[in-house]
Each structure stands twice: as C-alpha cells, then as structure tokens.
Chains A and B, each alone.
Chain A
Amino acid sequence: MLFSWRMLVLFIHVTSVIVALGGSLFSTFALTPILAQELDVTTRVKVARRVIRRLGAIVLTALAILVATGLLNVMYMGGVTPLLAIKLVLVAIVIVLALYQYGSVGVRIWRHSAGGPNALVGPLQARFRTIGLTVGTLVLIIVYLSLGLTRGGLGIAAPYID
C-alpha cells in the first residue's frame, strides 16, 4: 500500500531523525570549520551564535516530533520489547542532553557573545561541540537499534494483554 497512517507516521519519524542528526553533523563537521577558516573572530561569533539559536530550534523540534511519532509507532507495533525499552531510554538521554546543550550551554554562549568575542565563549563552544557529538553518536546507536527492531527480527511483539 502506498499510503497508510502508519507509513505517514513512520515517514515523519524517519525525517525527524534525518533533520536532527543531519543538522548537527552539518554544523559540527562542515559549517563550524569553514566559519573558523573564512571569517574574522567578530563576524564568526556573530554568525555562530545565530547558528546555535536556529539549530537549537530545529534540533529540539525534530526531537519532540521524534518522540511523538515514536510513541505512535509503539502503538502500531503492538509490543514493547527490551530492545525498544533501551531505545526509549536512549531517546530520553538524547533529549536531556540536547536541552542541556541548547538551554544551558547555548544560552551561555549566546549571552557571553552578545558584546562580541569573549574569552569565555571558546571553552563553552568546545563543550557545545562535545555534547553535540555525544548526541550524534547516541542518535546513530538509536538508528541502529531501530534497524534491529524493524529489520533484525528483534522487534517481535510481546503478547497483548488487556
């Protein structure tokens, strides 16, 4: 069948992963190094703080959609396996880390860089990058677990009890 509600939910779920992971990887491995090479410090700080804000909105929205569609997917799957439970715990950790990344470290970068380059921003940016890489790695593990659930035969639904 070309269209079903389950397919639509799955499509939005996968798209959210692509947006969250792709955005973070692009920012970490493409945008940040190029900004460092091509722009002077003042401009780089201005651009970087705006990128952090916008990327934060995109990544957090994608993660929220990921959870909402994920819960619907669980309903469609009709069972909670240990593998799915591990995946859900990892999702919770990813959201907590993303909230820390953008709500705490990102806000501090935003505040300290308001008046231009600041010595405090460097270490914060390094921490921001580390958390971003951790989030990216965890999301990749989640994707791998999802493949195990849908393709690896590990997602056999437990008996339905009412």
Chain B
Amino acid sequence: MASRDRERRIRRIIRWLTVLSIVLGLFSTLIYASGSHLVIRYFNPQLGAWWDTHQFAIMEVSATALGLLIAIRCASRLVEDVDTRRRAKIFSLVVSAIIVIPLSHTVASIARLGWDGHGARVRDFLQAIADYGTGNILDKIVMGGVYFFKSVAFAALAGLALFAIVMVILMSLEKSDTVAEQRESPLP
C-alpha cells in the first residue's frame, strides 16, 4: 500500500514536470520564433534582456526535458514490478536532471540538421494564404515548432536508452539475490 502511494506521488511529480516543460517549451518557442521578446522588453527591460539572452537555452532544455520525461513515462509502463518501476522512475529522473543540460546541447545540434528540405515551399504556402509579413512570421513559428518537436523526439530516444541502462543497473543490483539463491541450491 505504501509503495503504491509512493508510486502515485512520483507519477504526480513526473506529470507536473511534463506539464511545466510543455508550457515553458511552447511559450519559449513561440516567443523565440516570432521575435516577441520585444514585448517583454517593453514592459520590463531587464527581464526582456534576460529572456532574450536565455530563450533559446530555455526552449532547448524544455524540449530535452520533455523528451526525457515522455520516454520515462512510456518506458516505465512496460515494467511489471511496482517497486522496480518506482525505483526506475526515481533513478531515471535523477540521471535526467544531471544530463538534461549537456544533452540539450547535443539535441540542439542534431535537431538543427535536415530542416529546409521543403522550407521554401512551406514559406511560399504561408505567404500565399496570409500576406507577406504574416507569412514570414508564421514560417518562423512553424520552423521553430518543428525544431522543438525534433528536439523532443531525439531527447525521447536518448531517454529510452537512459531508461534501458537504469533497468540494467536495477537488474544487476538484484543479482545478489540470485547468487544467494544459487548458494542455497546449487545447480547439479
């Protein structure tokens, strides 16, 4: 019963972190892509300047955190044992918190690759349905959005790998039981 409660508490923490990274990620992507940091600067110049300097990092860290959290949430559903699942979640969360910033640099580099295959076509289409200026802004938002989702996808892949390693560590920690079990009843 106690382990179920603890499991529920961790699930709630992960849910809140997921919501936080979605909100922060989408907000920073929108502001970054549309160049709306000027609005923040208009109301509070210091905050606006700070936001302008850090908005890309905030967007990337949010995307990476979201990817890692999605991977942890999905992968933990595949673990049968409640205790192992809880331990795997805690362990993964701690490791994710440690690696999220360095991983966000890698994810940012990888997510930058490949977009523009049909970039001009998308921009032309957006300029056709809206006017030139609005189309340009929409194009930047679409590009920023795609970049954000690509970052999330790559981070999720890394998160799955991280969870696999965590499972291996938990499995090897259980190995001591196996050795004890073997000593009690050795193989013929």
Does A80 lie within 8 Å of B165, measured CB to CB? no
Does A81 lie within 8 Å of B114, measured CB to CB? yes
Tell me, yes or no, whether A78 is within 8 Å of chain B by CB.
yes
Tell me, yes or no, whether A118 is within 8 Å of chain B by CB.
no
- A53 vs B117: C-alpha distance when bound (angstroms): 45
- A50 vs B175: C-alpha distance when bound (angstroms): 9
Q: How far apart are B118's CB and chain A's nearest CB, in angstroms?
A: 10
Does A78 lie within 8 Å of B113, measured CB to CB? yes
A74-112 CB mask vs B (1 if < 8 Å, else 0) is 110111110000001001100110111011110110010
Number of interface residues of A (CB under 8 A): 44
- A162 vs B172: C-alpha distance when bound (angstroms): 43
Does B78 lie within 8 Å of A96, measured CB to CB? yes
Does B157 lie within 8 Å of A88, measured CB to CB? yes
Contacts of A123 in B (CB 8 A): none
Number of interface residues of B (CB under 8 A): 38
CB pairs A–B below 8 angstroms (10 shown)? A60-B165, A64-B165, A67-B157, A67-B158, A80-B110, A80-B113, A98-B164, A107-B80, A157-B114, A158-B116
B49-75 CB mask vs A (1 if < 8 Å, else 0) is 000000000000000000000000011
Tell me, yes or no, whether B168 is within 8 Å of chain A by CB.
yes
Does B164 lie within 8 Å of A99, measured CB to CB? yes
| Chain B, residue nearest A46 (CB) | B187
Contacts of A95 in B (CB 8 A): 75, 157, 160-161, 164
Does A75 lie within 8 Å of B168, measured CB to CB? no
Tell me, yes or no, whether B19 is within 8 Å of chain A by CB.
no
- A157 vs B114: C-alpha distance when bound (angstroms): 7
Interface residues of A (CB under 8 A from B): 43, 46-47, 50, 53, 56-57, 60-61, 63-64, 66-68, 71, 74-75, 77-81, 88, 91-92, 95-96, 98-100, 102-105, 107-108, 111, 114, 157-162
Tell me, yes or no, whether B148 is within 8 Å of chain A by CB.
no
- A28 vs B61: C-alpha distance when bound (angstroms): 41
Once A64-B161, A67-B157, A91-B157 are accepted as A-B contacts, the answer to whether A74 and B79 lie under 8 Å apart by CB is no
- A100 vs B150: C-alpha distance when bound (angstroms): 25
Tell me, yes or no, whether B106 is within 8 Å of chain A by CB.
yes
